A and B are shown apart, each in its own frame.
Chain A
Amino acid sequence: MAEAALEIVDASAGYSGRIVLDAIKLSARKGELTAIVGPNGHGKSTLLKAISGLVPVTSGEIRLDGSRIDRLRPDQIVERGVIQVPQGDLLFPAMTVHENLLMGAYANSDGLAERIDFVFALLPKLKERRNQTAGTLSGGERRMCGIGRGLMAGGEVLMLDEPSLGLAPIVIEQIYEVIFNLRREGRTILLVEENAERIAEHADMIHLLDNGRIAWSGLGAELMARPEIVETYLGV
């Protein structure tokens, strides 16, 4: 079994005194795809924000390669190599695709040209659109740009927050093809997804988040073999 890149140990977090995440315990192992599934509004995005330092962790610890990162600023966490592609992309709309990709490498610009080549090879549509402002891209292209920007950072752990949200089925397939390719290349990925079926086959480990707590953890096949859990928590 691969060693853990990212460990969350009994971490609680929330906004303005309201606890959203309650004693979360999970890990993302190196080179694996770890998925967090669960209903809307139960803390999945908050968990990624807490890991990125955007939401304060009130108790417990978050560790990267054994070192605590839960007291660091967001920019320090990015420098350590924990990269997030947020929900809804959060691109810089008035910047070109190329400038958005450069922003991805803001904290670490080593090998910039190689990384841009890598992203353009993986997401050729971005190369065609490189001089177009991000605000004028279609939904699927924006999502590709968000993922490309995340890849530009290099980093050790890539966190993706609902990359399929609001996209047409054909675009979702394309996006997931890219994600699964990254997994095959040995990237450590922490993926938040509402649709468990979509990632069950490819995820190395799935955690079900319900009301800010881990309600179940296991392999994708195990989850799909438990229809009562899928029906209760995921409404499938």
Chain B
Amino acid sequence: MDVLIQIVASGLTLGAMYAVATIGLSLVYGSLNMLNMAHGAILTLGGYICYAAIVHAGLNPALALLAAAFVCALVGLLIYFSAALPLLRAENFETNIFIATIGIGSVIENLMLKGFGPYPIPQPLAVEGQVVIGNVHIPLQNVFILGVAIVLMVAVAILLQRTSAGRAIRATSMNREAAQLMGVRVGRVYAQVLALSGALAAVSGIMISSIATLTPVMGGDPMLKAFIVCVVAGLGNVYGAVIAAIALGLLEAATQYVLGVRWSFATLLLLVILVLIWRPYGLFGKQQVVRL
């Protein structure tokens, strides 16, 4: 029983972090058909800004988190205006923006390398203490991460389902031309989505670095896993991505316990292959069926 509690606690923490990392990626793909390869670098940038805000600027952790989210939202906007907007006007947008965001990600990573150096730095945003369930000691840090992730996921769900701006985002992701005919300014929606994605990436980066350490390349692994979650859920399906992220987090925690840490990533990749063979459009993706 204790083992099960441990696996569930670790799995939920991992899943929550993957979910927050994935929501932004999935929103951007759903709206713009854009695989944002700079997502991992933005995530890392969020972690470093939070670190700098607490250590160098002396801000309290909550303000530091907001500052990181704000700056990364601005980076999202910068990506829209500097790369996505001009490339949207040309052909082969998906390929071009894929390559462009690899370049942008590389620039951000190198700036962080220059600014903070290559060595791991601990993230000062730490919650001390632990919760004891049975014989299992769960760090409060994990509970905090889970709580932040749940708040963010609920906030994003309310935004998408209950607000006019959220409906415009969903409408644009379903059919850009139809959204335009409803009066939606799709350029503004794209900018909003990239800004929101940047802010979510920042929070994700802060959470991940708070249980690991900060390095300029730390975003690579979570971004890869966020892509895996996106593919398993069905590209662009935000709600499916949250469920898939939690499920993959639990699977990873179970694999780490049963087979060892080195097998967890291989197991995830194997799962992606199996899902793609079984349902090429993802677990929650849908084939386009038109009724006449």
A residues adjacent to B (C-beta < 8 A): 52-54, 73-75, 78-79, 83-84, 86, 90-95, 99, 102-104, 106-109, 137-139, 142, 149, 153, 166
The 8 closest A-B pairs by CB, nearest first: A107-B183, A78-B183, A90-B178, A74-B180, A75-B185, A92-B174, A106-B182, A75-B183
Q: List 9 A-B contacts (CB under 8 A).
A: A52-B180, A75-B180, A86-B178, A90-B181, A95-B171, A102-B167, A106-B171, A139-B291, A153-B182
**Among A90, A106, A142, which residue has its beta carbon within 8 angstroms of that of B183?**
A106
Q: How far is the CB of B26 from chain A (nearest CB, A)?
A: 14
Contact with A along B219-245 (1 / 0, CB 8 A): 000000000000000000000000000
Say if the beta carbon of B292 comes within 8 Å of chain A: yes
B residues adjacent to A (C-beta < 8 A): 164, 167-168, 170-171, 174-175, 177-185, 291-292
| Chain A residues whose C-beta falls within 8 Å of the C-beta of B179 in the assembled complex | 92, 103
Contact A54 B183 (CB under 8 A): no
Q: How far is the CB of A135 from chain B (nearest CB, A)?
A: 8
Who on chain A is nearest to B180 by CB? A74
Chain B interface, DSSP helix/strand/loop, else mixed: helix
Contact A109 B183 (CB under 8 A): no
Who on chain A is nearest to B185 by CB? A75
Q: How many angstroms between the C-alpha atoms of A83 and B183 in the bound complex?
A: 9
Contact A74 B291 (CB under 8 A): no
**Among A86, A106, A138, which residue has its beta carbon within 8 angstroms of that of B177?**
A86
Contact A79 B183 (CB under 8 A): yes
Given A103-B167, A106-B164: A75 and B174 within 8 A (CB)?
A: no
| Chain A residues whose C-beta falls within 8 Å of the C-beta of B164 in the assembled complex | 102, 106, 109
Q: How far is the CB of A55 from chain B (nearest CB, A)?
A: 11
Contact B183 A52 (CB under 8 A): no
Q: How many angstroms between the C-alpha atoms of A178 and B177 in the bound complex?
A: 25
Contact A91 B178 (CB under 8 A): yes
Known contacts A54-B177, A54-B180, A83-B181; 20 further A-B pairs (Cβ under 8 A): A52-B180, A74-B181, A74-B183, A75-B184, A75-B185, A86-B177, A90-B177, A90-B178, A91-B178, A92-B170, A92-B174, A94-B174, A95-B167, A103-B171, A103-B179, A106-B183, A107-B183, A138-B291, A142-B291, A153-B183
